[in-house]
Amino acid sequence: MATIVATMAGTVYKVLVQPGQSVKPGEDVMVLESMKMEVPVTAEVGGTVARVAVGEGDFVNEGDVVVEIE
């Protein structure tokens, strides 16, 4: 199982995937907001989303797991 982690500290602005959905490498899985900037978080590997660990409005730190892919 692969994990996707937050690339920076911020608030989850938008979740773009849900469990069971297929993703490709390089596809955006969510958008983080920090200091009024919107920063996409992308999948480094392809597969099926097993779990979305955070929801919109949640605060994450850099390195926190946000999505698991199988």
Q: In what order do the strands lie in the sheet with 22-23?
A: 2-5, 65-69, 47-52, 22-23
Euclidean distance between CA atoms 64 and 62, whole angstroms: 6
The tens digit of pLDDT for each residue in 14-38 reads 999 999 999 999 999 999 999 999 9
Total tally of structural domains belonging to the chain: 1
Average model confidence (pLDDT) across the chain: 96
On whether residue 68 sits in a domain, the answer given is no
pLDDT of residue 65: 97
Q: Which residue segment(s) compose the domain that 53 sits in?
A: 2-62
Residue 69 lies in a domain: no
Beta strands 65-69 and 2-5: pairing type? antiparallel
Confirm whether pTM is higher than 0.75: yes
With respect to residue 57, please indicate whether it lies within any of the assigned structural domains. Answer: yes
How crowded is residue 31: how many other Cβ atoms within 10 Å of its Cβ?
A: 17
pLDDT given for residue 47 in this prediction: 97
Q: Domain containing 44 — which CATH number? A: 2.40.50.100
For residue 70, being part of any structural domain is answered with no
Token pair 């946000």 in the structure block, residue: 66
